[in-house]
Structure 1
Amino acid sequence: MSISSQLQRIFADQPQLQAALLSSLVDYAHEAVGLVSDTGRLILLNPAFEGFLKFPAQDLLNRRLWFLRSLNGRRGISSQVQQALIEQGVWAGEYRIQTGLYDFRDIMLTLVDLAQNLDAHSGDASYTLVIFHDLSQQKHQELQLKQLANFDKITGLPSRQLFSEKVEWLKQNQQNFKFGLLCIDLDGFKLINDQYGHDIGDKLLKKVAMRLSSKMRSEDILSRFGGDEFLGLVHHVPDDPQLLAILLNRLLAAASEPMTINGIKLQVSCSIGVTLADNHAFESVDILLRQADHAMYQAKIEGKNRYHVFDPAQEAWQKERHSHFKRMREAMHLDELRVVYLPIVSLKTGELKGAEALVRWQHPEHGLLDPRHFMPIIEDHMVEVELGWWVMDRVLTDMQQWQTLGFDCRVNVNVSSRQLEQGDFNERLFHKLSHFNAPQPFKLELEILESGVFESLPDLSGKLNELKSHDIRLAVDDFGTGYSSFDYLRKLSLDSLKVDRSFVANMLESAEDRAILASMIALGHAFHLDVVAEGVETLEHAKQLQTMGCDYAQGYGIAKPMPANELMAWAKTWSIVSFG
């Protein structure tokens, strides 16, 4: 039975109750509600409508609404909107209206043709219900996060993503020219950061960034890569190597100039790796970054405080990389890899929500290695895809074993964009799930890097929707470090948003980081997503995140990664712990 039929039955003999209900719904609604006659004039409005437009009721009643007029057409409505009202009786869409001389507000505007939505018409009169919801705060949060994605919060320099886009745009230039990509790493920064703390370290990074920027030409770009690394883009590199050397030596001198911060005299230097390419001939930004990074490490080996230009004729590093691929495949075959689980707990109850599967390498010579020592080498290669499936097999095996012991736990598995883009990914995953034939469906959540989601959005949306139809949850990992567009939050049926640890680390000392976190949490909740904070190192961090409304947390302050056979015992002891 439709709600309209139910209301007609309830109010059949109680017209006064019907009027009271309608009046209460309109008067106390947070959304602005108004009624427009067939002449386009406003004949009824609620207090929220009056307050939003910042005009008293007497100035609005019996007037045509200017934001409807701006849509053009009959009764102030465009032909497209009018057609929707005729066919469906309702139209909704995002819209920007002017509420003051210099005040513009983003709204979700809904128009309802009441005649189309009534079982019986009342004469020839036609009325349109106007409802709008204020999107200004959500848009502000999106803008703030876009700024965060495009520019480094410490130095104000362009982010790595914006830098990569600038390099890719060089291909669109009609001119042919040579350009240089620089990888700049500070020498001695870690010692200063460890000795004097992050505040001094951040100020040093900011000052070095200003110095390096001042030595770059106006058409060149300097970006912060992360940590104490910077990237440089040098347009139109001259054929004479001595001219490029002048710029590089200026950068070396600028970085090594002594400075005083908070009364402390400090000095660092930098090592610069350089790779040169033609703007229409380079294969990818990632390859250029690897080449520049390789050259930078060569500069460090040669003594630091110098630069090294990558020589394409020397392919030893590529051969070395292929030997790493071979060794990683051997590690999978010889069962040297381990899957461990990092608990994810509720900040409301303290209970175990799930666990993230992480891979470790029990190297026969170097001991237990975390992913930092081997994942960057295999990134964006088929070996990365093979490792992803190896991890998935181990996770499903562990989950089946847990079920036989009466332990049911959701597991988050990281999936690279390269693996997800494989044409048979869904089919292969569904086959694996059916192969295990577990007593209960596995609770699986796939974590995808924010950059991977955005880069492949047009191709992945259908694939992700199919995964959702099989009760597989989807999470965006390292949120806030990737892309400036948040369209994917609207277009994809996601479940979780995982805030990168870099925003959690300094939240207790930094009001700016707390404000950024608050915006991320609010944005996640606006899209009905669970928000998970990564890198929670202390109970104080957890309590602060709980106060801010964050849903879940993971990090060494809660528990370190542990083998599958230890997670059950840990969950029993942890379940009684509360953050309250």
Structure 2
Amino acid sequence: MSTKQPLISLPSHYDGSARLPPDEVLRPLMADWARSGKRLAAVCYLDIDRFRDLNDRLGMVAGNAALEEVGRRIQAQLPRESVMARVGGDEFAAVFAGLGASQCAQVLESIQAALAAPWTWRDQSVNLDASIGAMLLDSSGPPPETALRQAQHAAFFAKRASDGKVHYFDAPQARADEQVVRERQRIQEGLVRDEFFLVYQPKVDMQRGVVVGVEALIRWQHPERGLLPPVQFVPLIEDDALVEQVGDWAIGMALWQAHQWRLAGLEISVSVNVAPRHMMRWDFVDRLARHLSQFPNMGVGMLELEILETTAISQFANVALFVEACKALGVGVTIDDFGTGYSSLTYLRQLPVSAVKIDQSFVRGMLDNAQDRAIVQGILALLQALGLTAVAEGVETLGQGEALLAMGCTLAQGYGIAMPMAAKDVLKWVSEFEKAPLWGTNSMPSAALPPPQTAA
């Protein structure tokens, strides 16, 4: 690396608190670069990973010292004709002039390696990794302010991918991201405008011929696009804070509806799906307790939360704490879509969950596919040995229900039992089902079972 100082360097008295405006950082070098006739440059944006945790754990003095150290390490790796400065709380900007894509990549690799070197603060080891966004441009490129925003946009995706990564600005991706932002804003507006509502799919005990609960499922009555199922909007918010708002709304609405049914004489549990991000929110349990406090007469187990098997496996320690905290509030937790992940006997043995739902893909195919049937039998044997309740999803025919009963599985839900329905229809449906259940000694004739339908 050249020993020549960057055109704008960190002042000798730099203490980690001073910042330079982006224009002040970029304009001098960009103007010089344009006059020189050089064709390529790179604008980079560096965001220190986990800096807030460092500040909270070690204090602001350590935070400022870390910023100063990061600045020195970056500056030491800069090539000739470069500029850098701190432009945000824990963010730095840099411009490399006259470098091609491969040379830029080499510089960024050297910066990452320099930051990854151990740094000690008062006998405590601290990581100084940074997520880096880069924008490569030629003399016809955008103005400095736009280039910096684009590099910052790329840094956001580098941080989201994982710590210490480099992401290059991608214009088509940026346009797609802008569309996602607009759609998320529309979902936010839909919450305010009461465009969302819940439908309920019954869960039954096939052996006793009774309804034991309902699963709450979200729908969006979009004023222009019509009725939208969750697959058309939930994926847009799964990694955004908005999924926490939607999930919080769903829990509150489901509890209110269960209370209304109780007043009408129907004691029935209601389950709500919880997204991984929502479940890991720091104040989730406190907010759940506040929801429950609004309905003090609701019994233990009247609310259940459903989490995906893949979440339970990938975040086992946090999920274990979550399940215990919910259990202390009288709220059960069910593992959903069991069998689709890489199941672990350890997590099943250690998580005090209320039930496990066998994924519908196995249930639907078990009469025609010997492997699916073997999987269902194996899961049921495993759950029985561990003392866990099994619920079969995706039951669409009488034959599937009869096969499940023969295997010892009594709880089920699916389109063949009932479609998701409006809250106002639940009371009547429960009464009619329990008068003439599909299975058991008082069951209706086989011909009366409706064919599978499309979900509401």
- Normalised to the residue count of structure 2, the TM-score between the two structures is 0.59
How far apart are 1:415 and its partner, in Å?
0.8
CA distance in 2: counterparts of 1:492 and 1:539, whole angstroms: 33
Residue in 2 aligned with 1:421? 280
Worse overlay, 518-527 or 432-441: 432-441
Distance 1:318 1:496, change over 3 A: same
Residue in 1 aligned with 2:333? 474
Residue in 1 aligned with 2:161? 284
Q: What's the CA shift string for 1:148-190, capped at 9, x where partnerless?
A: xxxxxxxxxxxxxxxxxxxxxxxxxxxx8xxxxxxxxxxxxxx
CA distance in 1: counterparts of 2:301 and 2:314, whole angstroms: 29
CA distance in 1: counterparts of 2:360 and 2:338, whole angstroms: 9
CA distance in 1: counterparts of 2:299 and 2:353, whole angstroms: 23
How far apart are 1:552 and its partner, in Å?
0.8
Q: Which amino acid aligns with 2:439?
A: F
Where 2:364 maps in the other structure, the secondary structure is coil
Alignment of 1:423-502 (within 5 A): 423-438=282-297, 440=299, 443-502=302-361
* Of 212, 222, 238, the match for 1:363: 222
Distance 1:441 1:405, change over 3 A: farther
CA distance in 2: counterparts of 1:410 and 1:440, whole angstroms: 9
Residue in 2 aligned with 1:535? 394
Residue in 2 aligned with 1:118? none
Where 1:387 maps in the other structure, the secondary structure is helix
Q: Which amino acid aligns with 2:368?
A: E
How far apart are 1:484 and its partner, in Å?
3.8
Kept in 2, the 8 Å contact 1:530–1:551? The answer is: no
Alignment of 1:178-577 (within 5 A): 283-284=160-161, 312-314=170-172, 315-438=174-297, 440=299, 443-576=302-435, 577=437
Where 2:186 maps in the other structure, the secondary structure is helix
Residue in 2 aligned with 1:111? none
Kept in 1, the 8 Å contact 2:203–2:413? The answer is: yes
Alignment of 1:119-158 (within 5 A): none
How far apart are 1:404 and its partner, in Å?
1.2
Q: What's the CA shift string for 1:313-362, capped at 9, x where partnerless?
A: 33001011111111111111111111010000012112101010000111
How far apart are 1:398 and its partner, in Å?
0.5
Kept in 1, the 8 Å contact 2:313–2:343? The answer is: no
Where 1:429 maps in the other structure, the secondary structure is helix
Kept in 1, the 8 Å contact 2:301–2:330? The answer is: no
Residue in 1 aligned with 2:439? 579
Where 1:422 maps in the other structure, the secondary structure is coil
Report which structure shows greater RCO (CA 8 Å, sep ≥6): 2
Q: Which amino acid aligns with 1:408?
A: E
CA distance in 1: counterparts of 2:222 and 2:395, whole angstroms: 28
CA distance in 1: counterparts of 2:416 and 2:221, whole angstroms: 24
CA distance in 2: counterparts of 1:390 and 1:449, whole angstroms: 19
CA distance in 2: counterparts of 1:485 and 1:345, whole angstroms: 27
Distance 1:439 1:424, change over 3 A: closer
Alignment of 1:22-37 (within 5 A): none
Distance 1:440 1:494, change over 3 A: closer
CA distance in 2: counterparts of 1:283 and 1:505, whole angstroms: 37
How far apart are 1:463 and its partner, in Å?
2.9
Kept in 2, the 8 Å contact 1:480–1:499? The answer is: yes
Distance 1:313 1:428, change over 3 A: same
Q: Which amino acid aligns with 2:214?
A: A
Kept in 2, the 8 Å contact 1:417–1:453? The answer is: no
CA distance in 2: counterparts of 1:513 and 1:442, whole angstroms: 31
CA distance in 2: counterparts of 1:313 and 1:516, whole angstroms: 46
Listed as ranges, the gaps of 5+ residues in structure 2 are 1-108, 110-153, 441-456
Q: What's the CA shift string for 1:278-312, capped at 9, x where partnerless?
A: xxx67438xx9xx9xxxxxxxxxxxxxxxxxx972
Aligned residues, how many? Answer: 282
Listed as ranges, the gaps of 5+ residues in structure 1 are 1-175, 177-276, 292-309
How far apart are 1:466 and its partner, in Å?
2.1
Distance 1:549 1:428, change over 3 A: same
CA distance in 1: counterparts of 2:280 and 2:169, whole angstroms: 32
Q: What's the CA shift string for 1:509-562, capped at 9, x where partnerless?
A: 111110011001111111111111111111221111111111211111000001
CA distance in 2: counterparts of 1:532 and 1:440, whole angstroms: 21
Distance 1:476 1:330, change over 3 A: same
Residue in 1 aligned with 2:39? none
Where 2:190 maps in the other structure, the secondary structure is helix
Residue in 1 aligned with 2:48? none
Distance 1:326 1:578, change over 3 A: same
Structure 1 segments (4+ residues) deviating >3 Å: 437-442
CA distance in 1: counterparts of 2:350 and 2:408, whole angstroms: 24
Q: Which amino acid aligns with 2:327?
A: K
CA distance in 2: counterparts of 1:437 and 1:468, whole angstroms: 16
Q: What's the CA shift string for 1:480-514, capped at 9, x where partnerless?
A: 11234232111111110001111112111111110
Residue in 2 aligned with 1:251? none
Where 2:170 maps in the other structure, the secondary structure is coil
CA distance in 2: counterparts of 1:526 and 1:322, whole angstroms: 47
How far apart are 1:461 and its partner, in Å?
1.7
CA distance in 2: counterparts of 1:484 and 1:443, whole angstroms: 28
